[in-house]
Amino acid sequence: MATLKVIKKRISSVKSTQKITRAMKLVSAAKLRRATEKAHNSRPYEAELVSMVSAILRDTDWSSPLVEQRDVKRVAMVVISTDRGLAGSLNTNLFKLAAKRLGELAGVDVDGFALGKKSNDFFKKRGVTIVSTQTELARSGDYARVSEITSGLRKAFIEKKYDRVEVFYSGFQSALVQKPTRLDLLPFVPETSEEQKSFIYEPAAAELLSSLVPMLIDFRLFRVVLESVASEHGARMTAMESATKNAKEMIERLTLQRNRARQAAITKELMEIIGGAEALAG
């Protein structure tokens, strides 16, 4: 049985941990609100870009290396994870999906693009060649930086270094639910529109598409980065809330154990005093 001194030390340690988890929960809750707003605002922008591209495609025949379907011999796998831990099962669930896909791509050359420290570790453990590692991407939220990454991927696809570009990220649904998701970024699959409208294009439709499609591809990656950021804060807030609750329950159990140990020590002292008094009286 643990001594009274040891129990007191453990209570103090758990209380210190509880303060940390409570503070982390509050920080993540504050960040989650802003991250959620950015993620939600990005969706209608992407939807409008898709609608615009679809409407133009209805009126013109357009060909581009970005839509070229090829036999898959080399794949660029982009995994967007967190830089830090303490986010519950967020990264674990994401890596399960990515690992399953790696198994399906057996016999295909796969290069890893790690957007986050944890995804870098994921590729290393599985012996995947890491072409690029980007950290602090989630905190910066810089579209220019994400666009630079996507531009490199588009260039590599056009030059036929890769036949597919697949992105794995945590789709944000709520603070409690984050869904591991796969997005096939390239080749670009155009969506056709059934909307019967006529437009006059300036510049020409093909020229517009050559500008809008790369913009859409860039923004898609930016949108999933924003969703990953919101998912991280939601998962961390939930995990820290659970950890704070567990710490409270542990403190209650240890306090009860301490009281019992103190009571046992007092009872022992009384028994010794009574025993000593009886011995002197005898």
Into how many domains does the chain fold? 1
Q: Is a pLDDT exceeding 60 seen at residue 122?
A: yes
Chain center to CA of 22: 21
Count of CB atoms situated within 10 Å of the CB of 249: 10
Is-contact 118 26, C-beta < 8 A?
Answer: no
In a domain, 281, yes or no: no
Q: Which pLDDT score is estimated for 194? A: 62
Is-contact 217 69, C-beta < 8 A?
Answer: no
Q: What band does 76 get if pLDDT is binned at 50, 70 and 90?
A: very high
Q: Which pLDDT score is estimated for 231? A: 93
Q: Which alpha helices (H) appear in the chain, and where do they start and end?
A: 4-59, 90-104, 117-125, 137-140, 143-158, 205-281
**4-59 and 205-281 helices cross at what angle (nearest 10)?**
170
What does pLDDT average to over the chain?
Answer: 87
Q: What band does 273 get if pLDDT is binned at 50, 70 and 90?
A: confident
Q: Which pLDDT score is estimated for 141? A: 62
Average pLDDT over residues 116-127: 93
Q: Is a pLDDT exceeding 80 seen at residue 70?
A: yes
Q: What band does 107 get if pLDDT is binned at 50, 70 and 90?
A: confident
Question: Can you name the residues that pair with 184 across neighbouring β-strands?
Answer: 166
Q: Which pLDDT score is estimated for 6? A: 87
Strand order from edge to edge, sheet including 109-115: 129-134, 109-115, 74-80, 164-172, 178-186
The answer to which of 26-30, 92-96, 174-178, 203-207 has the lowest mean pLDDT is 203-207
The model's pLDDT over 210-246, given as tens digits with 9 standing for 90+, comes to 888 999 999 999 999 999 999 999 999 999 999 999 9
Q: What band does 97 get if pLDDT is binned at 50, 70 and 90?
A: very high
- The model's pTM is 0.85
| Percent residues over pLDDT 70 in the chain | 94
The span from the CA of 116 to the CA of 138, in Å, is: 8
In a domain, 163, yes or no: yes
Q: Is a pLDDT exceeding 80 seen at residue 201?
A: no
Q: What band does 103 get if pLDDT is binned at 50, 70 and 90?
A: very high
Q: Which pLDDT score is estimated for 183? A: 94
In a domain, 11, yes or no: no
- Domain of residue 189 covers 25-237
Q: Is a pLDDT exceeding 60 seen at residue 140?
A: no
Q: What band does 195 get if pLDDT is binned at 50, 70 and 90?
A: low
Q: Is a pLDDT exceeding 80 seen at residue 39?
A: yes
Length of the chain: 282
Token representation of residue 231: 């998912």
Average pLDDT over residues 186-193: 79
Q: Which pLDDT score is estimated for 92? A: 93
The CATH number that applies at residue 198 is 3.40.1380.10
Q: Which pLDDT score is estimated for 260? A: 85
Q: Which pLDDT score is estimated for 62? A: 78
Residue with tokens 């504050």: 30
